[in-house]
Structure 1
Amino acid sequence: MRETCVPTGVELKDTSFGYTLSVIGGKYKMIIMYWLSENEVMRFNELKRCIGTIPFKTLSIMLKDLETDGLIIRKEFPQIPPKVEYSLSERGLSIIPVLNMMCEWGEKNRLSALEALQR
């Protein structure tokens, strides 16, 4: 019998599953990590263009959160104008298989969900 990720009587935030959700949860964190996995190194404005709908301040906050959680690396170059590049850390790279599995699940289930809605 498989042990559950969220045992009865334990708050979600106190579980490994809850921790994972706190690190990658939210509207944009997984999208930022996806783009960094596809491009290896990106600058702020490149990320903004790829995501499109994200406000400047929100992207800045999400990048700081991901850096604080050790999922991305921020590299600042001492030049004028300032240049900053973002990439996934080893820890960030380790979660990409989870994001890939989510993508595969979506591919398998999206069409059947759309068909069910049309019935």
Structure 2
Amino acid sequence: MTSTHEKVGSAPEGKYSQHTPYSAARDIESALAVLEGRWKMLILCHLFATPVLRFSELERAIPAVSQKMLTQQLRELEKDCVVCRTVFPEVPPRVEYSLTPLGQALCPALDAVLKWEDLRRATQPDAA
């Protein structure tokens, strides 16, 4: 068995080759923790499809989420620098949400996960 202080053998050359199996697993878990939450993936997918959405548009797009939970999930994404909240000084106030550059950088990674899921489903035996 390989100890965790050795570099990952199958890691691509470049800036990620310094990861050990332990540090790679730890960092992946840390990244996935940012996306943890019942509604976060749905919020992100709506923002990938429509780059700027008002709070009320997100509420309509995700009817099963409560206003409190939507606010909480958006605040967590904002705290993690994935979503940008813009408040316009109008009466009534207008609030828009968009992806930050860090949030936009998630798109290729989530596309890769989606392709992996398609592959996983294709290799599963048919449920009878």
Q: Shared topology, TM-score over 0.5?
A: yes
Work out whether residues 37 and 73 of structure 2, in 8 Å CA contact, stay in contact via their aligned partners in 1: no
Which of 2, 5, 27 is matched with 2:10 structurally? 2
Gaps of 5+ in 1: none
Match of 2:73 in 1: 62
Partners of 1:63 and 1:113 in 2: CA distance: 35
Asked if the contact 1:6–1:17 (Cα under 8 Å) also holds between the matched residues in 2, the reply is no
The code of the aligned residue for 1:36 comes to L
Higher deviation after alignment, 37-46 or 26-35: 26-35
Instruction: Report what 2:42 is aligned to.
Output: 31
The structure 2 residue matched to 1:108, chosen from 100, 108, 119, is 119
The answer for the alignment partner of 1:95 in structure 2 is: 106
How many residue pairs get aligned? The number is 112
Structure 1 residues 27 and 6: alpha-carbon distance in aligned structure 2, compared to 1, 3 A threshold: farther
RMSD: 2.1
1:81 aligns with 2:92: yes
Instruction: State TM-score, norm by structure 2.
Output: 0.77
State, as a whole percentage, how many aligned pairs show the same letter: 31
Where 1:75 maps in the other structure, the secondary structure is strand
1:19 — aligned with what? 30
Query: In 1, Cα distance between the equivalents of 2:45 and 2:73?
Result: 13
Distance 2:125 2:90 in 1: 51
Q: In 2, Cα distance between the equivalents of 1:50 and 1:22?
A: 24
Which structure has the larger Rg? 2
Which SS does the other structure have where 1:37 is aligned? helix
Q: 1:42 aligns with which of 34, 41, 53?
A: 53
Change (3 A) 1:53 1:113: farther
Alignment TM-score, normalising by the size of structure 1: 0.82
Which segment drifts farther, 62-71 or 25-34?
25-34
Query: 2 CA distance for matches of 1:40 and 1:114?
Result: 38
Deviates more, 1:91-100 or 1:62-71: 91-100
